[in-house]
Structure 1
Amino acid sequence: MCGICCVLSLSVSPVLPDRVRKTLTNRGPDHSQDVTKSVICPDFRCLFSAHVLHMKGRLTAQPLQDTVGNLLLWNGEVFGGLAVGPEENDTEVMLQHLSAQTDSAGICGVLSRVRGPWAVLYYEAANRCIWFGRDYFGRRSLLWHLDPAEVVLTLTSVASCPASVSEPSQWHEVPAAGIFRLDLEDCAHHKELIIEVFPWVEAAGCPSVHNPDYAWEDLPPYASVVPNASGVSLRAPICAMNTSTAAPQNCENAPSPQLPMEALAELLLHSERVGKVNQLIEVLSEAVRRRVQSLPCRSSSTSSSPSLEQSCTNDQTDIAILFSGGIDSMILAVLADRHVPADKPIDLLNVAFKLQEAKMQPQSSNSNKKKGKKAQNKQGPTTDEPCNQRDMNSTGRFDVPDRITGRDGLLELRRLSPERRWNFLEINVTPEELQSARQERISHLVHPLDTVLDDSIGCAVWFASRGVGAMATADGCPEQKPHTSTAKVVLTGIGADEQLAGYSRHRVRFKSDGLPGLVRELAMELGRISSRNLGRDDRVIGDHGKEARFPYLDEDVVSFLNQLPVWEKADLSLPRGLGEKLLLRLAARQLGLAASAVLPKRAMQFGSRIAKMENSREKASDKCKRLITE
């Protein structure tokens, strides 16, 4: 992963703001480099700035240039579509393929073939063009800013908040609607920016989840976005969604009334359904394998030289999982266990936020009577006890729902894979820590998104992915020791709910509009996931010099799920904890999971309790005043 940036200026010397440079460096701590190109005339210059996080093959400095002047800034991973050897670097392979193309159709063809997340800035020397854009799902962040007074365009992985409330932001996310091209020669001659879009297209006759965005927000008079005149496009990397809504009369999704675990067992008696479940496990397992193997060792040096000597130890953790103990993260953990060497630990990152004293709810007298003896046992250890207990009065405030289900999930994982060292990392965040980190860093990373929901999720993911917390020293002993995750890869379960009807809004739509309404809702989810979630999460996780990876959004996983009719993925006539994400719950049971397979969906902001730390009357869609930095 990398922090990439391009500043194009027709009138002034291109400058990268200090705040943006610092945040880009956080994303790519292994190597930093700037390259300035004069194009057409001396006054027309492009500043390219790249900051590399070494993830595969040999460390390759960016911006990467070839012998004829083509230049590439690549923030991505090639997990398929193009051949990349174990010792090769993705950036070098991508530049070779792009440089070999002679027209726009060829460049679009190369990008269409890539399987994996990416954001790209490519200077095509022969035609004096800059190409930029994001992958089909928008799994990597790319933002744009146009100066209202000067002809200056900035494209970057990360931005910064306005200096004051009165100063409007002009940063926006580059739409994941396709790839964009800027002809620099035209820019120089006409003193304006005409940005051509090459859209993603699906198979003929299939509705697209992407609408090419020709109406970017806040464009100054000198800039416009238009469809490319040649009609060239990128071919979507996934198959179209099955929109059938005529469920068969003998549909097997209706087990006899019973407990959820028994219902799953009954559904797994049908061989055809078991076949689908096994297919999902196979394709998802392969998606996880691609994302947890072939990682470089942590360097023993702090040098940014491309020729680093590296050393590996089995004590170092390469893989971490954002972990709540829910079904999405549990399945990722079970599948990661298949592909991570048995002697390597896996970090389970579990975040909790402590309520401020004024917000703590006093227990009722009945509650205190019921807890009786248990409450007395939490007063603290005697000096004769073999290990020192934590301050339970303090730590108890962090026993949020996700902490409780996380601990239960840890027990399940230990049962399934007792030889694995599972590092269950308890990440406890106080109100003071939250306020400080939000103002200093998180608000800039979430920007240009600005809602209450963006604040809650952004803060929770930032603290979780930082991986600074504590974990138990031994089984059965409450004493904890500080621990910081060394993992460079963070797996996250985003994409499961969007494809398998996991949100409460899906039940609402199903109740009001039936299967046709649910199909439309799920199609919309994939179309907006780039603007609602993925750019923000990439910026937040990347701030720690770590890379977010999304197995549920692997192209093969999405294509497999898209082929299935909606009633094979979910049955929202069944109760919560069973009907939503039904196919995934069956897969969890098939993998040997128990209680976690039937946990109802709980959003991160509620499970971690960050939503309880602020104004309870806020709506998720409200503008969040806490993200204002002045």
Structure 2
Amino acid sequence: MCGICCSVSFSVEHFSKDLKEDLLHNLKRRGPNSSKQLLKSNVNYQCLFSGHVLHLRGVLTAQPVEDERGNVFLWNGEVFSGVKVEAKENDAQIMFNYLSSCKNESDILSLFSEVQGPWSFIYYQASSHHLWFGRDFFGRRSLLWHFSNLGKSFCLSSVGAQMSELANQWQEVPASGIFRINLKSASISKSVVLKLYPWKYISKENVIKGCVNSLTQISANLPTFVSVVANEANLYLKEPVVPLNMMLPQASLDIHRSNISSTPPTRETLQVFLTDGNMKEIVQQFIDVLSIAVKRRVLCLPRDENLTPGKVLKTWNRKANVAILFSGGIDSMVIATLADRHIPLDEPIDLLNVAFMTKEKPIPTGLNKKRIKQKNCEIFSEDSSKNAAAGRGGGAAAAAATSPDKQFSVPDRITGRAGLKELQAANPSRIWNFVEINVSLEELQKLRRTRICHLVQPLDTVLDDSIGCAVWFASRGIGWLVSQDEVKSYQSNAKVVLTGIGADEQLAGYSRHRARFQTHGLEGLNKEIEMELGRISSRNLGRDDRVIGDHGKEARFPFLDENVVSFLNSLPVWEKANLTLPRGIGEKLILRLAAVELGLTSSALLPKRAMQFGSRIVKMEKNNEKASDKCGRLQVISLENLSIEKEITV
């Protein structure tokens, strides 16, 4: 994970040798282990490159990196497969070595077509004055662009900053392919031409499927002096996944539903499907490919390797390297179970469970004394969170946390605790750190205003606000470890955060999938799944990368591993979901069957519950909003108010 930025100026009066303070501050939070800037000046333009590294693999390599020919590279990504990177090598340096040896455009496209894993990058070719940049096929790493209204400068950055001007000036770079700008030509013509090298799929019959986002769509919100054109040679990147199987059944399916629809679902209900040998084999294949995806994401990490031979670090003294956004639902339970397979047994795993304070209900007069006692023991304010981070939780805090606090007894907390018990039963030798992260209304409002607001932007809906805030607090990892014996303040220092995003989109997990199926059948369901996966870069992933990266942590998405997506795309829809069946079984059916095969119990039957509802963040403020409404709470605040926050400690 890194914070990368390139600021380009075509005029001397608009050029600055330093990034604006707030933008630099936001980039440094993403990359706490190394910060470096590099200035490249030309008679026609100036480029200021800024790189901020979160060190996760190989030798710490400061960015930007530069070769002897003056080429410059900024990389925010992980090579999990496709391009060979040895265990002790740094993938940024390896990618730059390959790029430096590329002889033409086609070589560059071939390189990025091979990479499996999330990435965004900026690459400057000094001899040709070309600036290349882009995001991976799913857009798992954020990259924004901002063009000045005067046409004198533009900026590419992992994260934006609050601005006193219009809120929509930072926009996400579409995950439509790789872009190239000729900086010399742009300076002379006073216009910026973005040449697109799109993603395309080549089938065995050599039929080319066109890119999803048209040039017109990309250009729609750009200033008039910026245009997007296809590259002259019609070169393209090879899509890393196979297209979605849109096949429909030839006849009505035997879906084992004779008694399922009329009775409450049980684990035995799911086991009926596994009596079908073909289905059982498909489920095992799914487990295998997902397990490999999780393995790649939990083992590409520095671990305690400097121990004396034969000496094992005591388990209680070990720190978790991997955390999981954990609700106890089917997605996070399967990820946790598979992570348990591959993470060293003496290493704890952090399960990050977030809850937002629910509004208190009126209490009868006779219970006033009890209420006063509870009030005196309230611990989950911002101040106590800071104490937790420093390991200084007060006595009152410990006293309150020993008894369940109903104000934080939200659905995800309840299912999370139940999921913890399942994991402990499956592997009692593992230390499972169930981190109870509790957020008050006051803390939510303050940190949304001072930290989260600009991370969610340029997305701006009520849904973006709810999910963005919930993920930010969860991934921050400041909370409490509660056991029968004690309550401890705790802060997760795991640099890698696994999240289950991508499961619902591919496996018909949302209520809108069910609605589409009921009105348009399997054909409509296929189109809905195709649409969901096609828009995941702009709807979710850039935002989540910015939000999690703000803590100097890296989001990793096992369900969006290229091999996992290709496997699921290859299956007909009825082998992934069966929406004629009730909630808790029909949606994400293949994942529920995988959970049963992995030995999970009650969590395999939990119906889908979105994070904003499970954590109860939607209940904290306005209750009459629609998810698609523009959110006034995300509007840009004045720079004077912003300056108050600069050195906030979270």
Normalising to structure 2: TM-score of the pair? 0.88
In structure 2, relative to structure 1, the CA distance for the partners of 1:380 and 1:620 (3 Å cut) is: closer
Secondary structure, aligned partner of 1:586: helix
CA–CA distance in structure 2, aligned partners of residues 91 and 141 of structure 1? 17
Give the superposed CA RMSD.
Answer: 2.6
1:453 maps to 2:452: no
CA contact (8 A) 1:280 1:560 kept: yes
Structure 1 position 294, deviation (Å): 3.0
Structure 1 position 456, deviation (Å): 0.4
Instruction: Give the corresponding residue for 2:174.
Output: 175
CA–CA distance in structure 2, aligned partners of residues 354 and 208 of structure 1? 48
CA contact (8 A) 1:499 1:526 kept: yes
CA–CA distance in structure 2, aligned partners of residues 364 and 338 of structure 1? 50
What aligned pairs does 1:90-489 form with structure 2 within 5 A after superposition?
90-163=91-164, 167-204=166-203, 205=207, 210-214=212-216, 215-246=218-249, 248-252=251-255, 254=257, 256-257=259-260, 258=263, 259-297=265-303, 315-355=318-358, 359-362=359-362, 389-390=399-400, 395-472=405-482, 474=483, 476-477=484-485, 479-489=486-496
CA–CA distance in structure 1, aligned partners of residues 404 and 530 of structure 2? 45
Structure 1 position 162, deviation (Å): 3.0
TM-superposition CA deviations, 1:249-277 (whole Å, max 9, x none): 34345363343322101111111111000
What residue identity is the alignment partner of 2:99?
Answer: L
CA–CA distance in structure 1, aligned partners of residues 101 and 458 of structure 2? 36
What residue identity is the alignment partner of 1:19?
Answer: D
TM-superposition CA deviations, 1:137-193 (whole Å, max 9, x none): 0000000000001421100000023326xx343110000000000012212322221
CA–CA distance in structure 2, aligned partners of residues 459 and 465 of structure 1? 10
Secondary structure, aligned partner of 1:537: helix
Secondary structure, aligned partner of 1:133: strand
Moved >6 Å (runs of 4+):
377-381
CA–CA distance in structure 2, aligned partners of residues 102 and 343 of structure 1? 48
Instruction: Give the corresponding residue for 1:307.
Output: none
CA–CA distance in structure 2, aligned partners of residues 250 and 606 of structure 1? 34
CA–CA distance in structure 2, aligned partners of residues 159 and 140 of structure 1? 14
1:27 maps to 2:26: no
1:4 maps to 2:11: no
In structure 2, relative to structure 1, the CA distance for the partners of 1:379 and 1:49 (3 Å cut) is: closer
CA–CA distance in structure 2, aligned partners of residues 624 and 312 of structure 1? 48
CA–CA distance in structure 2, aligned partners of residues 138 and 438 of structure 1? 24
Secondary structure, aligned partner of 2:355: strand
> Equivalent of 1:496, from 503, 506, 510?
503
> Equivalent of 1:616, from 623, 628, 632?
623
> Equivalent of 1:512, from 500, 513, 519?
519
CA contact (8 A) 1:380 1:389 kept: no
Secondary structure, aligned partner of 2:141: coil
1:555 maps to 2:555: no
In structure 2, relative to structure 1, the CA distance for the partners of 1:512 and 1:470 (3 Å cut) is: same
CA–CA distance in structure 1, aligned partners of residues 570 and 271 of structure 2? 24
In structure 2, relative to structure 1, the CA distance for the partners of 1:109 and 1:583 (3 Å cut) is: same
Secondary structure, aligned partner of 2:168: coil
Instruction: Give the corresponding residue for 1:76.
Output: 77
Where structure 1 has 5 or more consecutive residues not aligned to the other structure, the ranges are 301-310, 382-386
CA contact (8 A) 2:198 2:211 kept: no
What residue identity is the alignment partner of 2:195?
Answer: E
What aligned pairs does 1:566-577 form with structure 2 within 5 A after superposition?
566-577=573-584
CA–CA distance in structure 2, aligned partners of residues 46 and 312 of structure 1? 49
CA contact (8 A) 2:347 2:430 kept: yes
TM-superposition CA deviations, 1:520-564 (whole Å, max 9, x none): 000001110000000000000000000000000000000000000
In structure 2, relative to structure 1, the CA distance for the partners of 1:261 and 1:46 (3 Å cut) is: same
Structure 1 position 379, deviation (Å): 12
Normalising to structure 1: TM-score of the pair? 0.91
CA–CA distance in structure 2, aligned partners of residues 407 and 137 of structure 1? 32
CA–CA distance in structure 1, aligned partners of residues 224 and 376 of structure 2? 68
Instruction: Give the corresponding residue for 2:642.
Output: none
Secondary structure, aligned partner of 2:535: helix
Instruction: Give the corresponding residue for 2:606.
Output: 599
In structure 2, relative to structure 1, the CA distance for the partners of 1:379 and 1:22 (3 Å cut) is: closer
Instruction: Give the corresponding residue for 1:529.
Output: 536
What residue identity is the alignment partner of 2:425?
Answer: R
Instruction: Give the corresponding residue for 1:308.
Output: none
CA–CA distance in structure 2, aligned partners of residues 221 and 378 of structure 1? 59
What residue identity is the alignment partner of 2:131?
Answer: I
What residue identity is the alignment partner of 2:212?
Answer: H
Secondary structure, aligned partner of 1:50: strand
Structure 1 position 483, deviation (Å): 0.3
What residue identity is the alignment partner of 1:7?
Answer: S
CA–CA distance in structure 2, aligned partners of residues 274 and 364 of structure 1? 55
CA–CA distance in structure 2, aligned partners of residues 312 and 25 of structure 1? 33
Structure 1 position 625, deviation (Å): 0.8
CA–CA distance in structure 1, aligned partners of residues 305 and 332 of structure 2? 29
CA contact (8 A) 2:71 2:123 kept: yes
In structure 2, relative to structure 1, the CA distance for the partners of 1:241 and 1:212 (3 Å cut) is: same
Secondary structure, aligned partner of 2:627: coil
Secondary structure, aligned partner of 1:201: strand
Instruction: Give the corresponding residue for 2:394.
Output: none
Q: What count of residue pairs does the alignment treat as equivalent? A: 598
Secondary structure, aligned partner of 2:281: helix
In structure 2, relative to structure 1, the CA distance for the partners of 1:233 and 1:209 (3 Å cut) is: closer
What residue identity is the alignment partner of 2:89?
Answer: E
CA contact (8 A) 1:4 1:50 kept: yes
In structure 2, relative to structure 1, the CA distance for the partners of 1:378 and 1:360 (3 Å cut) is: closer
Structure 1 position 70, deviation (Å): 1.5
Deviation larger for 82-91 or 620-629? 620-629
